[in-house]
Amino acid sequence: MTINFKAEVDKRRDELMKDLFSLLEINSERDDSQADAQHPFGPGPVKALEHFLAMAERDGYTTENIDNYAGHFEYGQGDEVLGIFAHLDVVPAGSGWRTDPYKPEVIDGQLYARGSSDDKGPTMACYYGLKIIKDLGLPVSKKVRFVVGTDEESGWADMDYYFQHAGVKAPDFGFSPDAEFPIINGEKGNITEYLHFAGTNAGAVQLRCFEGGLRENMVPESAAAVLAGNIDQQELEDALSLFLDAHPQVSGSVEAQTKGIRVEIIGKSAHGSTPQEGINGATYLAKFLIDFDIQGDARAFLEVTADLLHDDFQGQKLGVAYHDDRMGELTMNAGVFQFKEGAEDNTIALNFRYPQGTNPETIQKVLEKLAGVTRVSLAEHGHTPHYVPMDDPLVETLLSVYEKHTGLKGYEQVIGGGTFGRLLKRGVAFGAMFPDYENTMHQANEHTDVEDLYRAAAIYAEAIYELIK
């Protein structure tokens, strides 16, 4: 049986885009301030989950909502289960958008919205790939379980809860539509380590507070500090003007406040797995402040940030750099900065993507030797390195379909980003970004190419069918 999956996608273009728009209009950022028993990550992720499951029920699937942590539906029959794992939560929109991040808009063929490429757009393309198989009634010998989570961008507590409470066996193999084509069959380990500092101040200038970053897996777009003591606004403005002239890649401002003078530096956000693609507003702010007479623990906080973290994405200055021939370099994103004068526990969150051959404990021991750091703690949740060989039938099948649709040669990729593909021993990430695509995940003005979404949907349809027919 020969099916023209591209033609089948073309028949469903309008309905695919309509469904995607309705999902993108939901602000599904995690909001712990509104979290409760019914909304484990806040109301937004729950709303997106309920909307997606209602859509699946509309299309004839029987769905399961696992206590608003995650949900799934199944299609087909057979003893083997193909798992498809996607997520409906998004990182905070942040600032600097040319459009409303939750009012999707197509401009010059690009769909702008938070979640358009990570991961609502690819999720919808994959959903329609499976829908085509169902609509056509194609014969299958395996079962598909389509799982959507609501906490992928934070701690993966959704999947921890799902596997404990879903009441079904884990899929035998599967993929996540949350990365790149041709395939991601290797993922580095992922751990956040926290540098802790005390809160004393000394010197002629006091650092009242320093804050930067929204999430550990995002490059801080901006950071702000409040200064007091022997310093005035004009002095700060003059110094900042000189600093910005020397560093035109960032912008900044000075503002008088009741508790002191506020200084802000604005850079550019990026995904924490590719920190070199961003401009870290927090490390630039520390680099600016380091020339003032700030002493005590505040000085140690600034020195680590300005001298050891600024423009070092592989941990070389920290002494934790590591290379593996298959998985490549360790990378580091300095993601969240919090200092408050007098506080007993101030922190810098460092998100590491590490290859096989090193581990969080080894990194921790090195970081504990840093001057001014009182202790180093590890995040409760992390991931070890993951790899599926190229000769695995899952990988071979997915690459074969990709090559058929694109005419391009498939090849393996190992990334620093973490996807739900690693939830399964035989799990990978598959699409939906094509080679040479502009990656705007976790950035302002996130967008995806509309035609690429349709191309991806056709690839997903045929790939799923080849895996379960």
Considering the domain architecture, whether residues 129 and 260 belong to the same structural domain is answered as: no
Q: Is pLDDT at 287 greater than 90 in this prediction?
A: yes
* The pLDDT value given to residue 418: 84
State the amino acid at position 367 in one-letter form.
L
Q: Exactly one of 8, 19, 29, 89 is catalytic; which is it?
A: 89
| Sign (positive or negative) of CA dihedral 427, 433, 437, 442 | negative
431: domain range? 5-188+385-468
Domain end marker among 354, 378, 402: 378
pLDDT tens digits, one per residue of 74-103? 999 999 999 999 999 999 998 899 999 999
Considering the domain architecture, whether residues 337 and 453 belong to the same structural domain is answered as: no
* The pLDDT value given to residue 417: 80
Considering the domain architecture, whether residues 326 and 450 belong to the same structural domain is answered as: no
How many Å apart are CA 133 and CA 461, to the nearest integer? 7
Confidence of residue 136 (pLDDT cuts 50, 70, 90): very high
Considering the domain architecture, whether residues 264 and 351 belong to the same structural domain is answered as: yes
Considering the domain architecture, whether residues 170 and 307 belong to the same structural domain is answered as: no
Considering the domain architecture, whether residues 453 and 316 belong to the same structural domain is answered as: no
Domain end marker among 345, 378, 411: 378
Q: Is pLDDT at 157 greater than 80 in this prediction?
A: yes
What total number of domains does the chain contain? 2
Considering the domain architecture, whether residues 93 and 169 belong to the same structural domain is answered as: yes
Q: Is 293 a catalytic residue?
A: no
Considering the domain architecture, whether residues 299 and 392 belong to the same structural domain is answered as: no
Give the 3-state secondary structure of residue 359: coil
Confidence of residue 59 (pLDDT cuts 50, 70, 90): very high
Considering the domain architecture, whether residues 206 and 183 belong to the same structural domain is answered as: no
Residue 120's nearest CA partner among 169, 55, 168, 65 is 55
Are the C-beta atoms of 224 and 263 separated by less than 8 Å?
A: yes
pTM for this entry: 0.83
Considering the domain architecture, whether residues 369 and 395 belong to the same structural domain is answered as: no
Domain end marker among 359, 378, 397: 378
Question: Which residues make beta-bridge pairs with 50?
Answer: none
Q: Exactly one of 8, 19, 119, 152 is catalytic; which is it?
A: 152
**In this structure, what CATH number is given to the domain that contains residue 218?**
3.30.70.360
Considering the domain architecture, whether residues 210 and 163 belong to the same structural domain is answered as: no
Q: Is pLDDT at 1 greater than 80 in this prediction?
A: no
Q: Is pLDDT at 330 greater than 80 in this prediction?
A: yes
**In this structure, what CATH number is given to the domain that contains residue 449?**
3.40.630.10
Residue 125's nearest CA partner among 26, 27, 51, 15 is 15
How many Å apart are CA 430 and CA 182, to the nearest integer? 7
* The pLDDT value given to residue 155: 84
* The pLDDT value given to residue 212: 98
Q: What percent of the chain has pLDDT over 90?
A: 95
* The pLDDT value given to residue 381: 85
Q: Is 329 a catalytic residue?
A: no
Considering the domain architecture, whether residues 338 and 238 belong to the same structural domain is answered as: yes
Confidence of residue 380 (pLDDT cuts 50, 70, 90): confident
Residue 38's nearest CA partner among 47, 26, 29, 25 is 47
